[in-house]
Every structure is written in structure tokens, then in C-alpha cells.
Amino acid sequence: MAQRLSFERLSPYFDSCDGDLERSIRLYEWNSAVSGALFEVLADVEVILRNAIHTTMTEWSISKGHGPDWYDNSHGLLGSRLEKHVARARARVEEQKRQVSPERIVSELSFGFWRYLLTSKYRTTIWPILSNGAFSRVQVGYEEMFFARVGRVHDLRNRIAHHEPIHGRRIERDLLDCLRILSAICPETADWVQQRARVEAVLENRPL
């Protein structure tokens, strides 16, 4: 197994297990299990977050006379980096020979797009729109804390997607970050995700 997984990939587990191969393999297996449990939660976070932003931005764009396709940037609020994200998403839809629609563009935009909308760069432009809609529950003065939380969740999502070790992270905080992001959108939905989540059960079975 060490050869198949590679010693390089196992090295973080060796370091955590004082070089004990058997314990390292068990920790690797557990890392996979907790990653899978977290990814289920992250899938909900990504879908719910992007839908909430999309709904708010669509309503705002229509109210300002720009039409529903807010991501096309007729309002001029999106920077060049996000415009490139949208162009790539549109190209993927067209490559699939599917009709371009807001729903398909939104589904093709990466988590990175949504995370970047929730940064200090858009603190005075996009955020005032979102804070009156999707994220009205985020208290004034806690915006940067919320942005940081979304950033940590995005980092976690990327580490899991690339099969990286997460056993050294504060996984309880990662789960809490996810639930608090959801609570900022809809507390009832956050409760629904928490009831389904397997993360805490997997944490109880962490190997010594």
C-alpha cells in the first residue's frame, strides 16, 4: 500500500504517526473518510451560497434595468478576473452544445468565483447589494469575519478536491464555518444540513 499510494503522499501521515506505517495507513484511511463527510457538507454550501447570490444579484440587476444576466457585467461592478470566470463558464456551456441560460452559467461557475465576490475588493460595491439580500443576517461590523470564513471553506474544498491531507486542520471549526455560512443565508437550511452531516460521527472514530 505504501508503494501504491507513494511514500511522498504518505509522508504527512508518517510525520503524524512517528513513522509507524500501520498507523499511517489507518490515518490515511480516516483522512479519506472525514474528507468524504465534509465534501457532502461543502456541496450543500456551494450550491446554496451560489443560488443565494444569484437570486439577489438577479433581482438587483433587473431593478436597475440591466436585465437578469447580472454576470454579463453590464453594470460594470465585476472586475476582469471575474469576467474571465464568466467567459470560461459560457464557453463550457457552448462546448456542450447546450443553450446558454442563467442557470447553466451559474452551475458552471467555480466556487472560486463566488468566494472572490465575498472579499474586501467588493466590500463597497457588490457587498452592499448582497447584505441587503442574501446575507442580510450578517451583522454590520462582521463582514470581514464572514469573508474570512468563506475563504477558509474555499481552501478546505480545494484541499479535499485535490486529495490533500486535512487531518491536521481544525475540522470542528471547518464544519462550524460551513454551518455559519449557511445560517447567514437561512437558519432552517443550516439545520437541515447539520442533521444530515456525518462529520461529527467520523471525528469520533479518528485513530489514535
- Give the domain ranges of the chain: 37-66+110-204
- Give me the helices (H) in 96-125, please: 102-108, 111-117
CA distances from 164 to 32, 187, 197 (A): 9, 31, 21
Q: What pLDDT, on the 0 to 100 scale, is given for residue 140?
A: 94
Q: Is the pLDDT of residue 48 over 80?
A: yes
Q: Classify residue 120 by burial, with Cβ atoms within 10 Å: 0-12, 13-18, 19+.
A: exposed
Q: Is the pLDDT of residue 142 over 80?
A: yes
Tell me how far apart the alpha carbons of residues 113 and 53 are, in angstroms, rounded to a whole number.
Answer: 11
Confidence grade of residue 3 (pLDDT, cut at 50, 70, 90): confident
Contact present, 41 and 197 (Cβ < 8 Å)? yes
